[in-house]
Amino acid sequence: MSEPPSRRTRVQRGAKRAVYDRQAIESIIDSAPYCSVSTITPDGLRQIPLSHVRGGAWVYFHGHARNAVLGALASGAEACVSFVVVDGLVFGRSAASHSVNFHSVVLYGHGRAVEEEAEKLHALRLLTDRFVPGRWSEVSPPAPADLDSTLVVALSTAEASAKIREGGPRLRAGEADAVWAGVVPLRLAAGEALPVPEAEGLPPPRLAWPRPEG
């Protein structure tokens, strides 16, 4: 897709960095470890960080049934969701030429409650398997009380655009030339697995990042 799906998804500043390709947008959503969700609740504007997972053309979120932001989305409220993967710190030779390399997506849409049991279980399985494929099949399934207290909402990925910054700093004549300039890459890495006492001696989960398509 070479054109944005809507006026508000058209990237204005740094338009050369805009990406409207559906596959690229979905790849960034899949790679982002979490997202920020903004919406209007009965108590006013709210924004919270949430973990997420994409299943086809939908992004799923979950939380407690009394969560105000999720409750608003479940009632059909409009949301703006941002996803970002930071790839590196960019160091220039002037203060103005410092930057960050990133892949980001901004998504707009109206939420919907996932009420049909099969889809709700499918979304929860995707969320459980996101970092460790197959984890859902290894652990106990959610009890009825867990399902009753968990709210799952979905948002279509149809209205979204991406923005990507790559490469090094812009160097200009007259800047300090005795200072290092370039890019320091950043990446998400898992630390040492820390088991609970009851799991001592058992093999830890093997993380997959980003998640395999499913």
Q: What is the pLDDT of residue 2?
A: 75
Residues of the chain with pLDDT under 70: 1, 209-214
The residue type found at 28 is I
The encoded tokens of residue 147 equal: 């399902």
In whole angstroms, what is the distance from residue 15 CA to residue 8 CA? 13
The domain ranges of the chain are 7-170
Residue-wise DSSP of 139-179: SPPPPHHHHHHEEEEEEESSEEEEEEE-S-PPP-TTS-SSS
pTM of the model: 0.91
**Residue 113: what pLDDT?**
97
Residue % of the chain over a pLDDT of 90: 85
CB-neighbour burial class of residue 185 (10 A; exposed 0-12, middle 13-18, buried 19+):
exposed
Q: 72 with 40: CB under 8 angstroms?
A: yes
CA distance 50 to 152: 12
**Owner of token pair 């370039």:** 182
User: How big is the chain by its Cα radius of gyration, in Å?
Assistant: 20
pLDDT of amino acid 129: 95
- Say what the pLDDT of residue 210 is: 59
Q: Over the stretch 83-103, which tens digit does the pLDDT of each residue have?
A: 999 999 999 999 999 999 999
Paired residues of 177 in beta bridges: none
* Range 7-170 has CATH code 2.30.110.10: yes
Contacts of 68 (CB under 8 A, 6+ apart): 41, 42, 43, 46
- The reported pLDDT for the residue numbered 207 is 87
Residue among 18, 24, 23 nearest 3 (CA): 18
Query: What percentage of the chain has pLDDT greater than the value 70?
Result: 97
